[in-house]
Amino acid sequence: MKTTYRLLLVALVVATVPAATMAAIGDGGTIIVERTFWLGYWDSSVDGSPDLAAEYRVIGDGPDLGVKLKTIHEWGAVDFYGRYRDSADQKYKLDFDVNRVFRSQNLLNSLIHRLGHQPIEHFQAATNHGRVVWESDLDPDSEYDLKYQVFETKNEVQLPSVDGLTVGFGYRNQQRKGTRQHTTISHCDACHVNSQDRPTDETTDDAYIDLKYAWASNFVRGSYTGRSYSESPQNISLLFDDALQPELRTPVFDNRVQWDNAEGPQPVDLKPDISKDIFKLDTLINTSGWGIVGEGVWSSTENDYTRNKTDFTGFMASVAKRFGSDRKWNFRWRGRTYSVDNNTVELVPIQRPGAAGPQSPGTYSDYYPTWPQTFTRLPAAKRDVLESKADLVFGRSTRGIGQFRFTWNYDKQDREYYEVAPGTTDTTKNLLGVSWSARPGKGWKTYAGIKYADISNPFQIVDGKYSTLVSQPSGGSPFDPRAAQYWQMHNERIAEGAASPSSYFQGDLRGTYLHNGNMLTASYRYWKGDNNDGDLNDWARDSQAFNITYWATPSPDWQWYVGYNYNDTSMDTVLTIPIFDG
Amino acid sequence: MGGLKFKVTEVFKIGFDLAYVNATAGMSQFRFEKAEAWAAPKPNQNYDMSLVNTYSDLDTTRLESDLWAKFTFFKSAFLYADWRYVDYTDDAPYLYDTSGEISWYTLSLGWSF
């Protein structure tokens, strides 16, 4: 909280500078647009759970303090807004400009996010054989929430002595602090679900500097941003249960788990701290009626503990030109290409010797020699992507028959490893669209548009569900090496899992009517997509959204509005349920 | 949703906003059609899936309103009062009942100059 009050103090000090300056300059040099202060008190009453009724609002009581200050001076302008109700409910915004040489935008915002406390008593079950699911809530009285706070400052300096050069610099600090509910499960002896507090103290820092040189209606700009993300609390741990056979109560599963209580408490959470460097170079050139925009981005992200790394290289270009008689035609094209490169990860599971039973003292791979033992995790995100968006526009929405827009978007994702169809790693999307916007009468604005997209090999999980393996262990013993194992069951899956369309249609209708200070707006969107491309895959979704709102100002003394929104979505998908018996 | 803002007199203004949201979502019932054939030799197993869809039942309503009044006196001073009310009702609680009703009251004295 010290940081909050320090930032608040800085903001208030900066805000009072113009007030003091005003007094010095006098009324002749200052225009006061707004100057308001208030002091009050707030209280609240709660009946029932605040978890969703006040998911992002504080409850309790406290002061209500506020300032609005907007002034224009001979030397520049100041716009300040500040409101404090609680350390988790405060907002400050300060923008100022000094002689058009130094411009600054600053923001501090805090809010709360209630997470509730999910009871876990439903994790209780038993069979006739005594195998059970049970639970332990190690912190049953905890209420979970996170306090979110962001501070951001963006600044620009334009030195009069260096014509066309602008130096920008800024800083952003985002924090999430509080406690979350963390659940972990122990296997074998029983399915034992444990819940405990997980302190959270996340900080993301961004600092940037950029240089922009502008001439005529062109510019070129380069920037560097450094980012760090840290999660400061120590890892939480859990002492897992002894891996016992649930009926015999013997340690026959010791060679099938990587650890149990014999290894002591184990860390059960992750600290994904990262460092990131981002370089950007962009330019705008206007020449011979063409507007040309180009941008290059190079970034590198590294986990501070595992040293896993992601490199991103991207380029963007955009061109636009009006042509034809009365410049009625307008062509615009935007293209982007980028590549993502990740390192591979090798996983070598711990193999413990068997402690009892028919597989003692062998390890798991001693009895299942075809089990891989070492797993190479290939980077699913490693890919080359090309995106193209082209628009051809005829007419003006404000004149005559209106404006017609024809759209063709093309995307191609070429993944290095991840298959989206058997033997295929590419996804290609073509989207065609046409729209019409016009002002058919005084006070009217209308829009109608349709889009159709066709996607070859949309994202899906190949052989992600529906195992065809039927286990028939000899003699009924799970320790018979011929008995089916989980990984063998996974290997026999034949159905694709998908939640992305292979084609979709979208239609939009919008209208606005403005008359004598009254306005009626209405919009409707219909979307329908499906995917039958994969094995045993049948996915479909359609949705409709409708909105109508009426604003009225019968007289300068009063205004009112009324609105209605309707959303409806339905989805069909294939569900597979594995049947276990033992 | 709806709302109004009304200048009762030159020094007295009131405002009111109201929003009501009803959200429902759920799965269609599905059956494990071979259940009887599978269950016959396994009397201790339960393959009845007919109630699984009820685990994904969502039915909530949210009423939110904000009533405020501002009274200006001595030309530049003002008194501001606000009552914000939220009633969230979970009509199909699953793990726990998240229903709640909350009121916030604010009274402030201010100065514009």
Inform me whether the C-beta atom of residue B111 falls under 8 Å from chain A C-beta atoms: yes
Give the mean model confidence (pLDDT) for residues A46-56: 96
pLDDT at B30 (0 to 100): 82
pLDDT at B45 (0 to 100): 66
- Determine whether the interchain pair B107/A560 forms a contact, defined as Cβ–Cβ distance below 8 Å: no
Inform me whether the C-beta atom of residue B97 falls under 8 Å from chain A C-beta atoms: yes
pLDDT at A20 (0 to 100): 41
Spell out which residues of chain B touch residue A64, defining contact as CB-CB under 8 Å: 106, 108
Q: Which residues contact A322 (CB under 8 A, 6 or more apart)?
A: A289, A329, A330
Report d(CA A137, CA A500) in Å as an integer: 38
Higher-pLDDT residue of A22, A550 = A550
- Determine whether the interchain pair A64/B100 forms a contact, defined as Cβ–Cβ distance below 8 Å: no
For residue B81, give how far its alpha carbon lies from the nearest alpha carbon of chain A (Å).
9
Report d(CA A267, CA A265) in Å as an integer: 7
Report d(CA A562, CA A549) in Å as an integer: 6
pLDDT at A6 (0 to 100): 44
Full DSSP string of A340-400 = EEE--EEE----PPP-SSTTTT--HHHH-TTS-SSEEE--TT-EEEEEEEEEEEES-TTST
CA end-to-end distance (rounded Å), chain B? 35
Give the mean model confidence (pLDDT) for residues A27-40: 86
Residues A149-185: pLDDT tens digits? Answer: 999 999 999 988 888 999 999 999 999 999 999 999 9
Cβ density class A524-538: b for 16+ within 10 Å, e for less: ebebebbbebbeebe
For residue B41, give how far its alpha carbon lies from the nearest alpha carbon of chain A (Å).
11
pLDDT at A18 (0 to 100): 44
Of B88, B97, B106, the CB nearest to A42: B106
Inform me whether the C-beta atom of residue B80 falls under 8 Å from chain A C-beta atoms: yes
- Determine whether the interchain pair A577/B112 forms a contact, defined as Cβ–Cβ distance below 8 Å: no
- Torsion A48-B26-A501-A574 (CA) sign: positive
Task: Tell me which of A200-214, A324-338, A465-479, B82-96 is least confident.
Answer: A465-479
Residues A487-497: pLDDT tens digits? Answer: 888 889 999 98
Higher-pLDDT residue of B29, B87 = B87
Report d(CA A76, CA A94) in Å as an integer: 14
Report d(CA A398, CA A402) in Å as an integer: 6
Give the mean model confidence (pLDDT) for residues A74-102: 96
Inform me whether the C-beta atom of residue A23 falls under 8 Å from chain B C-beta atoms: no
Residue linked to tokens 């709806």: B2
Residues A503-540: pLDDT tens digits? Answer: 999 999 999 999 988 999 999 999 999 999 888 889 99
Spell out which residues of chain A touch residue B41, defining contact as CB-CB under 8 Å: none
- Torsion A212-A213-A218-A221 (CA) sign: negative
A17 falls in which pLDDT band (50, 70, 90)? very low
What are A481-484's contacts with CB under 8 Å, separation 24+?
A: A481/A367, A481/A368
Give the mean model confidence (pLDDT) for residues A347-371: 90
> Given a cut of 60, is residue A22 above it in pLDDT?
no
pLDDT at A44 (0 to 100): 98
For residue A242, give the DSSP letter: P
Higher-pLDDT residue of A12, B16 = B16
A16 falls in which pLDDT band (50, 70, 90)? very low
Q: In chain B, what percentage of residues exceed pLDDT 90? A: 65
Rg of chain A over Cα atoms, rounded to whole angstroms, equals 31
pLDDT at B39 (0 to 100): 64
- What residue of A is the nearest CA neighbor of B89? A53
Higher-pLDDT residue of A105, A581 = A105
The neighbouring-strand residues paired with A110 are: A90, A149
A370: alpha, beta or left, given left = phi > 0 and alpha = psi -120 to 50?
alpha
Report the run of H or E that residue B35 belongs to, with start and end: helix B35-39
> Given a cut of 80, is residue A197 above it in pLDDT?
yes
For residue A261, give how far its alpha carbon lies from the nearest alpha carbon of chain B (Å).
30
Q: In chain A, what percentage of residues exceed pLDDT 90? A: 70
Of A37, A59, A64, the CB nearest to B102: A59
Spell out which residues of chain B touch residue A122, defining contact as CB-CB under 8 Å: 95
Residues A362-388: pLDDT tens digits? Answer: 999 998 888 888 999 999 999 999 999
Range 7-66 of B in CB contact (< 8 A) with A: 7, 30, 32, 38, 42, 44-45, 47, 49, 60, 62
For residue A391, give how far its alpha carbon lies from the nearest alpha carbon of chain B (Å).
37
> Given a cut of 50, is residue A2 above it in pLDDT?
no
- What residue of B is the nearest CA neighbor of A123? B95
For residue A405, give how far its alpha carbon lies from the nearest alpha carbon of chain B (Å).
34
- What residue of B is the nearest CA neighbor of A117? B96
A199 cis-preceded (ω within 30 degrees of 0): no
Of B3, B97, B107, the CB nearest to A40: B107
The neighbouring-strand residues paired with B15 are: B5, B68
Inform me whether the C-beta atom of residue B87 falls under 8 Å from chain A C-beta atoms: yes
Report d(CA A433, CA A505) in Å as an integer: 10
Mean pLDDT score across all residues of chain A: 90
- Determine whether the interchain pair A52/B98 forms a contact, defined as Cβ–Cβ distance below 8 Å: yes
pLDDT at A582 (0 to 100): 47
Residues A448-481: pLDDT tens digits? Answer: 999 999 999 999 999 999 888 877 655 566 677 7
Of A34, A37, A42, the CB nearest to B111: A37
Higher-pLDDT residue of A130, B81 = B81
Report d(CA A510, CA A513) in Å as an integer: 11
Higher-pLDDT residue of A551, A470 = A551
Higher-pLDDT residue of B55, A81 = A81
CA A126 to chain centre: 40
> What is the number of CB-based contacts under 8 A between chain A and chain B?
121
A440: alpha, beta or left, given left = phi > 0 and alpha = psi -120 to 50?
alpha
How many residues are listed for chain B in this entry? 113
Of B100, B105, B106, the CB nearest to A47: B100
> Given a cut of 50, is residue A226 above it in pLDDT?
yes
Q: Which residues contact A283 (CB under 8 A, 6 or more apart)?
A: A218, A219, A220, A221, A293, A294, A295
- Rounded to two decimals, what is the model's pTM? 0.87
Give the mean model confidence (pLDDT) for residues A211-218: 94
Spell out which residues of chain A touch residue B105, defining contact as CB-CB under 8 Å: 42-44
> Given a cut of 70, is residue A28 above it in pLDDT?
no
- Determine whether the interchain pair B4/A50 forms a contact, defined as Cβ–Cβ distance below 8 Å: no
- What residue of B is the nearest CA neighbor of A33? B113
Residues A421-440: pLDDT tens digits? Answer: 989 999 999 999 999 999 99
- Which amino acid is residue A43, in one-letter code? D
Q: What is the largest CA-CA distance in chain B?
A: 88
Q: In chain A, what percentage of residues exceed pLDDT 70? A: 93
